[in-house]
Structure 1
Amino acid sequence: MGWFNDKDTVQKKSALRNAVAVMLADGKVEPNEVATLGFICKRLGLEPSVLNEIVANPGQIEFVVPQDPTEKVRQLADVVFMMMADGNINQKELDCCRAVALGLGFHASTVVDVILGIAEAIKNGVNRDQTVRVAENILGKSPSLV
């Protein structure tokens, strides 16, 4: 952790890095993906300069697993939202979402169902908080099952 990065900032940068990884997974960057990344950055309370830093050097950002189970679900919802931003679900993006989910500690047996449930909720226009609840319900109402 750097001099000016508290634990919360490091976790937020990690979450944004995960979204960047999904955006880059298919080898092309679409305008809707850039807009989605900006939205995620703003929601996390990070400056655009941080986004530029992460896009330029994603490997320099530490992967941090949140302690809060609901935050894990929120971060997974963000990467699924990114996967869907360009209107196409590319296999490489889906694989990246799967890898992020496993890295966040989701059990391998639930990963696909949770990702598809989040994707369906997003496709149906469900807001973020309700989407998180959908995912928690898929996990058996206890995100501690992750």
Structure 2
Amino acid sequence: MTISVGDKLPAATFKEKTADGPVEITTDQLFAGKRVVLFAVPGAFTPTCSLNHLPGYLENRDAILARGIDDIAVVAVNDLHVMGAWATSSGGQGKIHFLSDWNAAFTKALGMEIDLSAGTLGLRSKRYSMLVEDGVVKTLNVEESPGQATVSAAAAMLEQI
């Protein structure tokens, strides 16, 4: 079953590499009592993710937060070291959360897994964005193709919040 608007996010634990080292972040810690923009990418360092999707959220971070959003997070089926390196190389460290869904547990629980084996990526997440309020999905934008970042882009999210 795919997550829908009005659904509560499933419980999950992510890994994040911070300036102080690796930490675990639960869905409760990240979403309880907060308005959070979450977006997912098929893979850190992949072209659309690094050149389009992530930069849009970093460039629009202040505008998004100014609209009453408490936090922004990106999630990918990558290990925490890859996500940490991506946070550092993109200049996003400390600005948004770079969440590792290393075993795709969260992605599968949402029904957002996609097999990208043909592109040598294996099991990954579909590209999407969502506005989450107190753990409940308020908006959900899923891309038709993993190589596109339009309906899930920061500009589209700004129009919804």
TM-score normalised to the size of structure 1?
0.28
TM-score normalised to the size of structure 2?
0.26
Q: Judging by fraction of residues, say which structure has more helix.
A: 1
Instruction: Between the two structures, name the one with larger relative contact order (CA 8 Å, sep ≥ 6).
Output: 2
